[in-house]
Structure 1
Amino acid sequence: MLRIAVAQFNAVVGDLTGNVERIIACAAEAKARGAQVLLTPELALSGYPPEDLLLRPDFYRACQRALDDLAARVDGIALVVGHPEEFEGACHNAASVIENGRKTAVYRKIRLPNYDVFDEKRYFEPGHEACVVTLGDVNVGINICADIWEEGPYELSCAAGAELVLVLNASPCHLEKHHERARVLGERVEATGVPAIYCNLVGGQDELVFDGASFAIDEREQICMRLPQFEEALGIVDFDRGRLQSDDHAEPLSLEAEAYSALVLGVRDYIGKTGFKGAIIGLSGGIDSALTLCVAVDALGAEKVHAVMMPSPYTAQMSLDDSREMIRQLGCSYDEIAIAPAMATYESMLAPLFAGLPQDTTEENIQARIRGNILMALSNKTGKLVLTTGNKSEMAVGYCTLYGDMAGGFAVIKDVYKTLVYRLSRYRNTLCQGEPVIPENIIVRPPSAELKPDQKDQDSLPEYEVLDAIVRAYMEEDRSPREIIAAGLPEADVRRVVRLLRIAEYKRRQAPIGIRITPRGFGKDWRYPVTNRYVDEF
């Protein structure tokens, strides 16, 4: 029998010393639980993705020193460790097998993804050979992440004699992606009859969140081990006479729980890994800032979160009351700063230049920019990071103000459609012991920017159910306006939304990074030209 420990842990990009210590700690726990092999995630030594650190020769030298240090300090258990490697003038995404203080084998990733958020062909050369090693009395093959997503590398390992395949992964999450991973790996197992163990990274890295959810698939294509999502964990799998067995059987999360957990982990790791002292959030009395505040408090603790309400003459009393109620329940620090004096100053300063011109969105945007200035001043003074509160629906159509509500360092719900914002708000309320944290008023009232009298979002935008469906079809699925209209969405709304989406690109290029939870977010995997005269197919 071969006992394999699966270590899904939270590696930090560039923290070679810290990552080595985490692997050593996992190895000690694995040994204590009787494991003979420890499997780690893809590029566990360096963290993933290292991006342009991989263009630095000194980075590879540092990774090699860290790998040597790791090998010298672990004995009594074999390690399968992911790391960047420079070999014979080429750079590789590699996995080394370490036994008894030395490297006994190296696998170099064959399939290099170059789509969505991945740029591995920018940095690495592909490997070409299978790697099968004997651990205990079992012939074990090694694959890395994208190797399993199409035929070739997995089958190559099996043809080389693998009885079991270990797969190192840094697979960023989007909602329900764990189903896709199980399906794809199941296809490889079905084609070869060889079972597999899949180890995934966990943690937040800039806009990406890695959800863990490591698993094993036996020779009957059944999932026989699953680790929790969004948590560090060490799982144990036994391989005995061709069969996989495990006592680790975590249940998958619901879609709402998965999305909310991703947001919480993304905020916690971005603030924690970058060294900011906490978070500042501008409350509006609306649902977006309410959800963002809940995420921040759940991620960081109330003591590290500062909420600021900045009422104008157009702010409803209900907005103030609901915000105060949320603060009462969450317990974070809170201030109210009226912006009417600043509005009057701006009006006086600009009056000679605006003479004879009607009021328009300019005056509305000034209010948002006053608020952005206040929040950034507090950030500078306290060392806390401003979290912006705009959602994906608004980002798509430019329903946001440059240097106003877009001002900040991290966009928590940037990839959350407005319709999902409502679902997540209701989900968060189910986690409460007593009264709902987000008042029902905030959830049911018509959304409004409150920048002029009686303003409603739907004065300027289609209903959010329609808007989100159009954005999803155009932006995530690359469907043409003609196809979207043919699917039953109103032509006038499609034309309007597509136009807004296109002309807002210059705004999105200046937006802070934010957490990605869909298959395509406005970030690393959306790269449309700002200067663009392509005419869509209608």
Structure 2
Amino acid sequence: MNFVKVSAASPKVTVADVEYNYNQIIDLIDKAVEEDVKFIVFPELSLTSYTCADLFLNFSLIKTSEIYLDKLCNYSKNKDIVIVVGAPILVKDKLYNCGVSIFNGKILGIVPKSFLPNYSEFYEKRWFAEGIDIRDSYIDLSFQKNIPFGVDLIFKDNNINFFIEICEDLWVAIPPSSYASIAGANIIGNLSASNEIVGKASYRKDLIKNQSARTLSSYIYSSAGVHESTTDLLFSGDLLIAENGGILASGERFSRESQLITSCIDIEKLTFERMKNSSFTNTLKNVPKFREIEIGFKSLNFKTFNRFVDKHPFVPSNPKEIEERCEEIFAIQSSALAKRFEHTKSKKAVIGISGGLDSTLALLVVIRTFDMLGMDRKNIVTITMPGFGTTDRTYNNAVDLCKLLNCDFREINIVEASLQHFKDIGHDKDIHDVTYENVQARERTQILMDIANKEGGLLIGTGDLSELALGWCTYNGDHMSMYGVNGSIPKTLVKYLVRYVATHKMDEESKAVLLDILDTPISPELLPKGKNGDIVQKTEDVVGPYELHDFFLYHFIRSGAEKDKISFLAKEAFKNDYDEETIDKWLDKFITRFFTQQFKRSALPDGPKVGTVSLSPRGDLRMPSDASYNSFR
């Protein structure tokens, strides 16, 4: 599936006690090997400890460090893992603060620190030389000759490209990893010794997230821990693994024990992001050349997949961001609609209200827009159009909602018009096929369009992103409007937004109506209702659970994922909700419908893009309407 498991590690250390530090390091290596990790990144100068100060200028420390580098190489034999450890390296009378990459008994390469902090509490230039200009160089150690040395090394295994930078390198205006990522590096390892002061941890975390986003890479960050010298500073052992702007795993700061965190990096997703982002490779024209050092893993397989897979990737997962995210979404929808009203100089909105989720959300957007523009809500013409399948529950909710929100409410029953149309086209009213359903959908749209013309208003579309992905709409029926505000809102997010408004913005009476709409089964109500007046036609019984389809859509569009990978991720995310057979069944349905229904998306009305996924033919998805799904199933 193009995942690779990586680790960030922070061992207990004793300052300047190389043997002790070595033993702590190999204990963590053993744990990482047990977890099938392929890259483990240790902190800056972890073999000696970072806070040795002038002891770095003593040959005993330098030579002992080299001895234990040799031991570490021997220890790594027959272990299918790249070990990145920090050590001082003496080269031609200059001492360098280095990241040493070790694999299967030998050093693959040594990367010197490019930028040495020499301000505030840092004074590394007292001991070390900067390595920023060292390229295309080789050095000898007592136990290994001709070792690649420089800031131009990328460690490669098939589509995995690993680059090393050290602490301060991340904090400068253009980090070395920026150049390396353009040259192909997709995993960055940072060996760090970043001390703690109030507020620094959150800034550092943002820095790591942002660099992983800018470079479209994974970023493994490992910092020195609390057992470094506390003569003047304290280090916390901060551990983070980021990927394209998000944090996959983090450690416990200030832990007094050695720590190891792991996560699975999605290499294929990073590749997709780089393929799609045409600005990425054109960012810098004069990118320096890098040497590629082959690794040669025996296997990239792992027994345990420990990456969190969000069941609802469109829905905010951080409770602290809930209110802010909802407000932002409504602001995008309403501001876009306000611009359309200003442009057309329309004073009225027309919207069909069914008592279902989508029309409810669209109405809430229209309400917010009119309030924002200082327009009278009585100019919002809400129309409910009962048909053969309309139940008392949805009808009453539609009526109550429109009246509670103080809109112009109208009711137009479509039964007689539909029956007349059946006669006109020679269709038996007792045959409940697609014609039976679409006649009603198109009759409703005709009514809405004509009233919009009559009133000089805009017909507001209500269909959502999930319906567009599945083609679960009637072509030139509910598929069409004068402006669609929900076109890039998936069904799982529609529910979320309606619930947010219900619990945060409404009086108790309106809240009760919205919550009942949320609890109502999703249905177009185009087939006759049951004997007890209940909903018979339930959308998710026909096309499958929307939470699954939204998951499939996100990974298909947002990551370019293949079917097998989407299936694997879905089974991980929904392992407690659906069996594997059910997931595969609806995934097949999704792919089939997504391809066969593209013609509907090719003729979409205007509407704002809200999230990272849009199916507009003028924006994110330029797809042939007659493309085959055979290669994708």
Return the TM-score normalized by structure 2: 0.45
Alignment of 1:86-125 (within 5 A): none
* Alpha carbons 1:308, 1:335 under 8 Å: kept: yes
Tell me, in whole angstroms, the C-alpha distance in 2 between the residues paired with 1:184 and 1:432. Answer: 41
Specify the SS of the correspondent of 1:435.
helix
* Aligned twin of 1:336: 411
Identity %: 26
Tell me, in whole angstroms, the C-alpha distance in 2 between the residues paired with 1:451 and 1:482. Answer: 35
Report the Cα offset of residue 181 of structure 1: 13
Q: What whole-Å deviation, never above 9, does each CA across 1:392-443 have from its counterpart, x for those lacking one?
A: 1111000001111122111111111111111100111111244335432211
* Alpha carbons 1:283, 1:323 under 8 Å: kept: yes
The reply to whether residue 259 of structure 1 matches residue 329 of structure 2 is yes
The reply to whether residue 440 of structure 1 matches residue 515 of structure 2 is yes
* Aligned twin of 2:589: 496
The reply to whether residue 403 of structure 1 matches residue 485 of structure 2 is no
Alignment of 1:419-458 (within 5 A): 419-429=492-502, 430-437=504-511, 438-453=513-528, 454-458=536-540
Tell me, in whole angstroms, the C-alpha distance in 1 between the residues paired with 2:385 and 2:432. Answer: 22
Specify the SS of the correspondent of 1:306.
strand
The reply to whether residue 531 of structure 1 matches residue 531 of structure 2 is no
* Aligned twin of 1:296: 366
* Aligned twin of 1:487: 569
Tell me, in whole angstroms, the C-alpha distance in 2 between the residues paired with 1:463 and 1:412. Answer: 23
Aligned-partner residue type, residue 569 of structure 2: A
Change (3 A) 1:185 1:433: farther
Change (3 A) 1:380 1:434: same
Unaligned runs of 5+ in 2: 1-173, 180-205, 216-320, 372-376, 529-535, 572-582
Q: What whole-Å deviation, never above 9, does each CA across 1:457-480 have from its counterpart, x for those lacking one?
A: 112111111111011111222111
* Alpha carbons 1:389, 1:413 under 8 Å: kept: yes
Change (3 A) 1:408 1:469: same
Change (3 A) 1:287 1:187: closer
Alignment of 1:2-13 (within 5 A): none
* Aligned twin of 1:372: 445
Report the Cα offset of residue 270 of structure 1: 2.0
Change (3 A) 1:496 1:328: same
* Alpha carbons 2:419, 2:429 under 8 Å: kept: no
Specify the SS of the correspondent of 1:380.
helix
Change (3 A) 1:383 1:501: same
* Aligned twin of 1:412: 485
Determine which of 339, 342, 346 is the counterpart of 1:276. 346
Which structure has the greater CA radius of gyration?
2
Alignment of 1:72-151 (within 5 A): none
Report the Cα offset of residue 491 of structure 1: 1.4
Tell me, in whole angstroms, the C-alpha distance in 1 between the residues paired with 2:493 and 2:484. Answer: 16
Tell me, in whole angstroms, the C-alpha distance in 1 between the residues paired with 2:211 and 2:433. Answer: 53
Specify the SS of the correspondent of 1:448.
coil
Determine which of 603, 613, 616 is the counterpart of 1:520. 613
Tell me, in whole angstroms, the C-alpha distance in 1 between the residues paired with 2:464 and 2:388. Answer: 25
Report the Cα offset of residue 291 of structure 1: 1.1
Specify the SS of the correspondent of 2:631.
coil
Aligned-partner residue type, residue 363 of structure 1: Y
* Aligned twin of 1:393: 466
Q: What whole-Å deviation, never above 9, does each CA across 1:44-102 have from its counterpart, x for those lacking one?
A: xxxxxxxxxxxxxxxxxxxxxxxxxxxxxxxxxxxxxxxxxxxxxxxxxxxxxxxxxxx
Aligned-partner residue type, residue 563 of structure 2: P
Specify the SS of the correspondent of 2:359.
helix
Aligned length: 301
Tell me, in whole angstroms, the C-alpha distance in 2 between the residues paired with 1:501 and 1:186. Answer: 29
Alignment of 1:119-268 (within 5 A): 183=210, 254-268=324-338
Change (3 A) 1:432 1:184: farther
* Alpha carbons 2:347, 2:379 under 8 Å: kept: yes
Tell me, in whole angstroms, the C-alpha distance in 2 between the residues paired with 1:400 and 1:276. Answer: 27
* Aligned twin of 1:474: 556
Tell me, in whole angstroms, the C-alpha distance in 1 between the residues paired with 2:626 and 2:346. Answer: 35
Q: What whole-Å deviation, never above 9, does each CA across 1:110-166 have from its counterpart, x for those lacking one?
A: xxxxxxxxxxxxxxxxxxxxxxxxxxxxxxxxxxxxx99x969xxxxxxxxxxxxxx
Report the Cα offset of residue 254 of structure 1: 2.4
Unaligned runs of 5+ in 1: 1-146, 153-178, 189-250
Aligned-partner residue type, residue 391 of structure 1: D
Report the Cα offset of residue 183 of structure 1: 2.8
Tell me, in whole angstroms, the C-alpha distance in 2 between the residues paired with 1:287 and 1:180. Answer: 39
* Alpha carbons 2:473, 2:479 under 8 Å: kept: yes
Specify the SS of the correspondent of 1:331.
coil
Aligned-partner residue type, residue 535 of structure 1: N
* Aligned twin of 2:386: 311
Which stretch of the first structure deviates more once superposed, 331-340 or 257-266?
257-266
* Alpha carbons 2:384, 2:399 under 8 Å: kept: no
Tell me, in whole angstroms, the C-alpha distance in 2 between the residues paired with 1:537 and 1:186. Answer: 29
Change (3 A) 1:187 1:349: closer
Aligned-partner residue type, residue 515 of structure 2: E
Q: What whole-Å deviation, never above 9, does each CA across 1:281-302 have from its counterpart, x for those lacking one?
A: 0011111111111110111141
The reply to whether residue 507 of structure 1 matches residue 507 of structure 2 is no
* Aligned twin of 1:459: 541
* Alpha carbons 1:462, 1:493 under 8 Å: kept: yes
* Alpha carbons 2:614, 2:620 under 8 Å: kept: yes
* Alpha carbons 2:554, 2:613 under 8 Å: kept: no
Specify the SS of the correspondent of 2:382.
strand
Aligned-partner residue type, residue 183 of structure 1: N
Tell me, in whole angstroms, the C-alpha distance in 1 between the residues paired with 2:208 and 2:464. Answer: 27
Aligned-partner residue type, residue 627 of structure 2: N
Specify the SS of the correspondent of 1:325.
helix
> Aligned-residue CA RMSD in angstroms?
2.9
Specify the SS of the correspondent of 1:443.
helix
